[in-house]
A and B are shown apart, each in its own frame.
Chain A
Amino acid sequence: MEHKKAYLRRLLLIMIAFFAVLIGGFLLDIVPNFTQGLSEGARVGHQIVDAYEQEEPRSQYLLWNVPIRCSAPIAIETSDAKRQVVGQLSTLSLSVQEPVQPGESMTRIAFAAIGNSPLIYALMIGSAFCFPVIILLMYFIIRSVRCAIREERPLAKNNVWLLRAIALLTILSELLNQTGLWLINTKAAEVLAGTAYTVDTTFHLNYSTLIMGILLLFAAEVFIIGRDLGEEQKLTI
């Protein structure tokens, strides 16, 4: 195979970049968020258990990053008297406590800790679960391409299915996440009804993520066309 070394070198660089981003993202984003979420979850869990044991069962749920529309500007005093700073609230993170019907199961209360609905909990967990699967599939693809080049075998056809799976998971995670956020915002609008805060309950989508998913589907098609052309070329005598 011509340029074998160059292909392997480039794939090695991609592999190194992949793991560097993975480790960086894990250390700088996932670990702090997970630690914060864990302590917050433990705090909420203990409060739920305490209330349950005192026979005054209360549900406690979180509504985070709720987008607020048209809130009044807030003047912020700084150490420099000549400088005027005005802020505006754009998001609110809420913690809500409500009494529940006596006899309500603790499991149901616990799984309603996000947005007071087990469905929102499931959507958020489902969305988060997509990412490790995507990372695993990406690792399989890079490893398979490297093996194919090293052993001078044709590229495996299952890479196309792995790429398609990554694309669909990317789109699915975005849809699950945004549906969850929309349900949280809808719940927050219900909770904040009659207050000075108006919640933006429009359904938003992160179009760059969707485009990335569609681009991956396109890449899978390019991959299979390239593979078929290569096979045809190989069978031209």
Chain B
Amino acid sequence: MAIIINIDVMMAKRKMQLGTLAERVQITPANLSILKTGKAKAIRFSTLEAICRELDCQPGDIIEYRPDEE
């Protein structure tokens, strides 16, 4: 998929654990893991807003478009 999720990069920059972020964003660690590994089909604006707030970043910092090499 051409959409890359860089939450792990931002989490590393902010030195934040997955469990901590999940708790602050109020989603389960399992769902945050699905998002982090790029298995999610969609992301709600409310979730995106909460992640950006907690990681103090822009949506573009955690979601990136990289065209498929074909």
On A, residues with C-beta under 8 Å from B are 231-232, 235-237
Interface size for chain B: under 10, 10 to 19, 20 to 34, or 35 or more residues? Answer: 10 to 19
| Cα of A235 to Cα of B42 in the assembled complex, Å | 7
Q: Which residues of A contact B47 (CB under 8 A)?
A: 237
Complex CA distance for A139 and B41, rounded to whole angstroms: 34
Q: Which residues of B are found within 8 Å of A231, using beta-carbon distances?
A: 41
Binding site for A on B (CB under 8 A): 27, 31-32, 34-35, 39-44, 47
CA gap between A235 and B37 in the complex, in Å: 12
Kindly list chain B residues whose C-beta atoms are within 8 Å of the C-beta of A237.
27, 31-32, 34-35, 40, 42-44, 47
User: A236's closest neighbor in chain B, by CB?
Assistant: B42
Q: Chain B residues with Cβ under 8 A from A232's Cβ?
A: 41-42
Bound-state CA distance A236–B41 (Å) is 6
Q: For B43, list chain A residues within 8 Å (CB).
A: 236-237
Residues of B within 8 A of A235 (CB): 34, 39-42
Q: From residue B10, how far is it (CB to closest CB) to chain A in Å?
A: 15
- Minimum Cβ distance to chain B for residue A235 (Å): 4
Instruction: Give bound CA distance, A235 to B1, whole Å.
Output: 15
Name the residue in A231, A232, A237 with the highest tally of chain B Cβ atoms < 10 Å from its Cβ: A237
CA A231 to CA B40, docked complex, whole Å: 10
Given contacts A236-B43, A237-B40, A237-B44, 4 further A-B contacts (CB under 8 A): A232-B42, A235-B34, A235-B40, A237-B35
Nearest 7 A/B pairs, CB to CB: A235-B41, A236-B42, A237-B35, A237-B40, A232-B41, A237-B31, A235-B40
The answer on a CB contact under 8 Å between A236 and B44 is yes
B31 to chain A, nearest CB (A): 5
Q: What's the nearest-Cβ distance from chain A to residue B32, in Å?
A: 7
Distance of A223 Cα from B40 Cα, bound (Å): 22
